[in-house]
Amino acid sequence: MKIMKNYIIASMLVVISMVVISMVINATSRDESARALWTKELASDAENNWVIPTYIRSTSKVFYNGKLLKPSEWTIISNTALRVNFVTMKYDQVSVIY
Annotated domain spans of the chain = 2-97
Provide Rg for the chain, Cα atoms: 14
Q: Does an H or E element contain 1, and which?
A: none
Which of 3 and 66 is assigned the larger pLDDT?
Answer: 66
Torsion, Cα 94 47 10 26, to 10 degrees, reads 0
Q: How many CA atoms lie within 13 A of 36 on its CB side?
A: 8
Residue that wins the pLDDT comparison between 33 and 82: 82
pLDDT in tens, 27-64: 555 544 456 889 999 999 999 999 998 888 888 999 99
> Taking a C-beta distance cutoff of 8 angstroms, is the pair 56, 82 a contact?
yes
Which amino acid, 5? K
pLDDT on residue 9: 74
- How high is the pLDDT of residue 32? 45
Helices (H), the chain: 2-28
59 vs 19, higher pLDDT: 59
